Amino acid sequence: MLLNYQYRAYPIANQKQQLNVWLRIAQYWYNKQLGDRFNWWQDNRNDINSCPLVCALPQLRNNPDFYSQKKQLPILKQDLVIVHHSGELLDFMSVPSQTLQDVSKRVNLAFKRFLQGDSNGKCSGRPRF
């Protein structure tokens, strides 16, 4: 017989505030990585028919993959990060490292499904910010 359990948490006000801060930092980190991957994808793709015989391609940069983006975490944790559009300060030290690594893993999976598709060959849509 299979049993399923559901647990419900009732955080107090301080815990809710801390969880919201963690969520905001994880959201920023997800959007930053996804934007970096889309910029790389847009800059490095070129139609075969549109390129003349002598074409000037820009200097290609390395593909931002899971490990290269995960290597940025210790650098981000050293100082406060300023969000450009809102001027908000984010402290990455307050979030556990496993949470931020899981965000990197989710970005990798979403972008891989966008490019390659799933096991049935269906490509999912472009990941949203």
Question: Which pTM value belongs to this model?
Answer: 0.79
- Average pLDDT of the residues of the chain: 85
In the predicted structure, residue 16 carries a pLDDT above the cut 70: yes
**Residues 70-86: tens digit of each pLDDT:** 898 999 889 888 888 88
Position 34 scores a pLDDT of: 93
d(CA 90, CA 82): 6
Position 56 scores a pLDDT of: 62
More confident residue, 40 or 59: 40
Position 54 scores a pLDDT of: 60
d(CA 111, CA 117): 9
Going from N- to C-terminal start, the domains of the chain cover 64-116
